[in-house]
Amino acid sequence: MQNKSIKQFIMIFYFSGTGNSKHVAQTLSGLIGDNEVINIADFHDDIANKKDVKITVKNDGFLGFVSPVHSWGLALTVKRFLERLRIQNPQSIKKIFSVFVCGDTCGKAMEMMNERLKKYNNIQLDFYCSVQMPNNYIVMKGFGTDPKELEQQKLSKAEIEIPKIADAILNGSEYKNYVIGPKPFLKGRIIYPLFMKFTLGDKKFFADNNCNGCGLCEKTCPEKNIKLENNRPKWLGHCVKCLACIHRCPKTAIQYGDITQTMGRYYFKK
């Protein structure tokens, strides 16, 4: 990464269930310098109550988003945030960027973000790219965590790529890496809406006998969708399938139907 004597103020919003996007956002922050990193989950109550999220970016500053890709599209929490976001000074922003964090491919995630930025704030992304991180979607047959060797390969590659992304954002260096993948229209415009409509429920989640009532699932749920009752987690019906609860459980006690008992678990650890 090139050295700059003057660094731009950058406001970065991120959403993360198992820590991948959080790590990317924080690493970018550390490389870029003068900035603010904000968890989209902090606006849960405003978004749930359909209140606008009003922000003002420092004049000539940068505005960034680090978003996980869910089913070849935007994570529902990110989608809702963009629909409530109201930028008070869009004309003063120097650059708008997004980094999409995917297990393999991104499909239509970038287009979906641009559609919402245009509709609600009349802005568009000036720069976007993707970063592959380990897979964590384990609540559907045919999916699962990566083998440990592949997991480490992705993490090692990301540590090489993130500084290049930071350089491209800050200094305008050439960097193009958005892995759209095959059949993006089918995946992003047909499968994604079906995923959002039919798979986001939490009725199949339960805690098995290994649960010790530690409450970590309640604390880590970004959607405030878990409440402990009699030292057992209870899901409240508005799950977005970020899977923070199932992957962060220290006892591997949280299960999803009959699918996850033999599945691996993953969350980002430094």
Distance CA 223, CA 202 (A): 12
Q: Are residues 143 and 217 in the same domain?
A: no
67 DSSP β-pair partners: 100
Same domain, 178 and 209: no
pLDDT tens by residue, 129-188? 999 999 999 999 999 999 999 999 999 999 999 999 999 999 988 898 999 999 999 999
Taking only the tens place, the pLDDT of each residue in 185-244 is 999 999 999 999 999 999 999 999 999 999 999 999 999 999 999 999 999 999 999 999
**56 and 167: one domain?**
yes
Q: What is the CATH number of the domain that holds 227?
A: 3.30.70.20
Provide the whole-model pTM: 0.94
Of 4 and 41, the one with more pLDDT: 41
Residue 188 is given by DSSP the state: I
pLDDT digits (tens, 9 = 90+) for 82-133: 999 999 999 999 999 999 999 999 999 999 999 999 999 999 999 999 999 9
Predicted confidence at residue 190, as pLDDT, reads 96
- For residue range 247-264, list pLDDT tens digits in order: 999 999 999 999 999 999
Same domain for 173 and 206, yes or no, is: no
pLDDT at residue 12 above 90? yes
Cα torsion through 188, 194, 199, 200, rounded to 10: 70
pLDDT for res 32: 85
- Check whether residue 104 and residue 29 sit in a common domain: yes
Residues 221 and 157 in one domain: no
My answer on whether 102 and 226 are in the same domain is no
Span 67-77, pLDDT tens digits: 999 999 999 99
3-state DSSP assignment of residue 204: coil
- pLDDT tens-digit series, residues 20-42: 999 999 999 999 876 889 999 99
Query: Would you say the C-alpha torsion 43, 48, 49, 52 has a positive or negative sign?
Result: positive
Residues 67 and 110: beta-carbon distance below 8 Å: no
DSSP-assigned beta bridge partners for residue 228: 233
The answer on pLDDT for 8 being more than 90 is no
pLDDT at residue number 52:
97
pLDDT (0 to 100) of residue 9: 82
**SS3 label, residue 208:** coil
What's the whole-number mean pLDDT along residues 1-16? 68
Q: Which CATH number characterizes residue 149's domain? A: 3.40.50.360
Look up the domain containing 205 and give its range.
200-255
Decide: 154 and 137 in contact? Cβ < 8 Å.
no
Q: Which of residues 161, 185, 209 is at a domain's end? A: 185
Give the count of domains, the chain. Answer: 2
Rounded to whole angstroms, how far apart are CA atoms 28 and 24?
6
Residue 154 lies in a domain: yes
Q: Is residue 265 part of a domain?
A: no
